[in-house]
Amino acid sequence: MCYCLSCRDFIMADSIMSKAATMEIPINSNGDTGTLPEDDSLEQDLQQVMVSGPNLNETSIVSGGYGGPAGGIIPTSSIKDIRMKSRGVNLPKSQSAASRLAHHTEQHPGSSNHNTNSTEEVSRGVAVEKLDSVKKWGINTYKCTKQMFSEKFGRGSRTVDLELEAQIDVLRDTKSKYENILRLATALTDHFQRIVQTQQALGDAFTDLSQKSPELQDEFGYNAETQKLLCKNGEALLGAINFFVSSVNTLVNKTMEDTLMTIKQYENARLEFDAYRSDLEELSLGPRDAAGVVRIEMAQHEYQIHRDKYERLRSDVTIKLKFLEENKVKVMHKQLLLFHNAISAYFAGNQQQLEQTLIQFNVKLKPPGSDKPSWLEEQ
């Protein structure tokens, strides 16, 4: 049973049109149609439909009983399609697709809106998080910049750990001096590498001349042997110096640098801690109304967070400085002994002592020509 106004009007119009279509049409003797008798009731019904009834092309018919689901709404265009199909008329594909799309949209009216709302909510949440992050970063940067300028111009106070600051200064000075040692040892390696290559070439030249000069064969021969022996010992010394350079490089550019990175984090935490400490002190001197108390509590919370961070990083720096000092003494004790023994044995011409030094410190020599690129790499 349908109680929809549009459905009722459509059924009324349909019955009236059926009634008019089935009325008997008299035909005279000449085959002309006679005049239809006037039907007052039919005319009144048609006028009522034309006046009160909606446009049939724009209405919907609700199938089912009262309170039925929204999915029961059938567009009149669909009814028109069904009638045309029943008469054998093929519908355009675009028209059928439009009808199906309209029917699907009316069956699921909230699906597209729900997806759009969910996407908008996610985008809004991400934007709010980014905005809060930028806001916090801006406030923190402003406070730290203000504190830094206050310290630079002598208007603000800073937290100082005298013992720790002295250790940090010593580390920076030590790193600078070790970098100088590393630079000089690298230069010595490069220079000595050229000497060994020259000795190798000179020994080859002496060997060639000893074979082509019978009258000077002995003289060229023992000079060639001497240069080859010096070249061999030079390669052993280069192995010891390269081992020394590699160990010092690791100590300076990895171990010390890692400690200095932690020190940098500690110094930034110290600046933030002093900035929020100064902010809390200024608020404590202000009025103690309701808004002032709230601001003081928030400042106290931020102060405590940065204080904990500062204390934690200060402890990390203290521990790293201690282990760095122990590691530095252990590494340099071994490397300096290796460097001394190798240099002394080489220039004293003590080949046996030089070889024993390499074995003692577990220095592995590279095979001759290993530094040169292969013929595939040269292509």
Q: Give me the pLDDT at residue 168, please.
A: 95
Contacts of 8 (CB under 8 A, 6+ apart): 2
The two tokens of residue 236 are: 């052993």
Query: What CA dihedral angle connects 287, 291, 292 and 296, to 10 degrees?
Result: 170
pLDDT block averages, 10 residues each, the chain of length 379 = 45 47 42 45 48 44 39 44 48 47 51 68 80 81 82 82 94 96 96 93 92 88 91 93 95 95 95 89 82 87 92 95 95 95 92 91 71 48
Contact (Cβ atoms closer than 8 angstroms) between residue 279 and residue 147: no
Q: Give me the pLDDT at residue 1, please.
A: 43
For the chain, helix (H) and strand (E) counts, in that order, are 11, 2
Q: Please state the φ and ψ torsions of residue 75, each to the nearest 5 degrees.
A: -65, 145
Of 335, 334, 351, residue with least CA distance to 234? 351
Q: Give me the pLDDT at residue 44, please.
A: 53
Q: Give me the pLDDT at residue 126, please.
A: 81
Q: Give me the pLDDT at residue 343, please.
A: 94
Q: Give me the pLDDT at residue 261, please.
A: 96
Q: Strands, DSSP E only, in the chain? A: 60-62, 73-75
Q: Give me the pLDDT at residue 115, please.
A: 65
Q: Give me the pLDDT at residue 48, please.
A: 52
Q: Give me the pLDDT at residue 349, please.
A: 86
Q: Give me the pLDDT at residue 108, please.
A: 54
Q: From CA 278, how far away is CA 303, in angstroms rounded? A: 9
**First-to-last C-alpha distance (Å) of the chain:** 91
Q: From CA 51, how far away is CA 80, in angstroms rounded? A: 23
Q: What is the pLDDT of residues 180-217, one digit of tens each?
A: 999 999 999 999 999 999 999 999 999 999 888 889 98
Q: From CA 259, how far away is CA 174, in angstroms rounded? A: 13
Own/partner pairs, 222-229, CB within 8 angstroms, 24+ separation:
227/199, 227/200, 227/202, 227/203, 228/200, 228/203, 229/351
Q: Give me the pLDDT at residue 324, please.
A: 95
Q: How many CB atoms lie within 10 A of CB 366?
A: 11
Q: Give me the pLDDT at residue 253, please.
A: 94
